[in-house]
Amino acid sequence: MRETKQWTDSERWALASETGFACAYCEVIFGSVARRPGSEPRIVRMVVEHFTPVSWTGIELDAENLVAACQICNSIKSAHLFDTVANARRYINRRWVQLGYVIEFIPTRSHFEAPELWAREYARYLRTVGIRQDAE
């Protein structure tokens, strides 16, 4: 059993900034809220994703192989292999549609520029849609 690396905040920040704080596959901004019919709304969270699965490369720390993805795309992509990010994106976007996901809330630049206001508004929104902020 290999050990999973614990990414630091600055490593995660650097990776996320490469894609404008949005998922490399679905291009949804982290902190958005997605919902599919019959399911609870989910906060779109960032995960450090290996474009080529570690189960194939055996290498956890290959910077060239890392992308910022959301947990939804990460789970859809799973251990599938793709030759290009564009092809992965096509497959994943099709699955998003099949699964019926819609984006209910997208944070805007002003939310990032006024973090205190943003936190308050966002907390209110999350209560409105019935999510605990620490919940998946």
Give, as ranges, the residues between 68 and 87 that touch Zn ion (CB under 5 A).
70, 73
Partner residues linked to 42 by β-bridges: 34
Q: Minimum distance between the CB of residue 44 and Zn ion, rounded to whole angstroms?
A: 7
Q: Which stretch binds Zn ion (CB under 5 A): 12-20, 49-57, 67-75, 114-122?
A: 67-75
3-state secondary structure of 70: strand
Give the x/- contact pattern for Zn ion in 1-20, rule: CB under 5 A: --------------------
Q: Minimum distance between the CB of residue 115 and Zn ion, rounded to whole angstroms?
A: 23
Partner residues linked to 69 by β-bridges: 47
Phi and psi dihedrals of 126, rounded to 5? -65, -40
133 secondary structure, DSSP code: T
- How distant, in Å, are the alpha carbons of 12, 39, 41, 88, 134 from that of 50? 13, 27, 26, 12, 25
Question: For residues 66 and 70, which CB has a smaller minimum distance to Zn ion in the complex?
Answer: 70
Report if residue 34 touches Zn ion, rule: CB under 5 A. no
Question: For residues 23 and 67, which CB has a smaller minimum distance to Zn ion in the complex?
Answer: 23
- The footprint of Zn ion (CB under 5 A) covers 23, 25-26, 70, 73
